[in-house]
Amino acid sequence: MSNYRLSARIGKPIRQQRMLRHLGIEMWINLQKIGWERCTLPN
């Protein structure tokens, strides 16, 4: 029982880190798309 509780306690921050990393990657891709469009659009 203590092992399950420990793994649940450890699993939460890992899941949050994974979500944060996923959000960061999506933001980075969106920024790259915006920058790419800004570079390729004729001024």
Q: List C-alpha distances in Å: 25 to 2, 3, 9, 31, 40.
A: 35, 33, 25, 10, 22
Please give the residue range of the domain that contains residue 11: 1-43
pLDDT digits (tens, 9 = 90+) for 1-43: 567 777 777 778 888 899 999 999 999 999 999 887 777 766 5
What pLDDT shows up at residue 7? 76
- pTM score above 0.85: no
Q: List C-alpha distances in Å: 28 to 14, 20, 40.
A: 21, 12, 18
Q: List C-alpha distances in Å: 31 to 12, 25, 26, 28, 42.
A: 29, 10, 9, 5, 19
**Alpha helix ranges (H) inside the chain:** 2-40
Total number of domains in the chain: 1
What pLDDT shows up at residue 38? 78
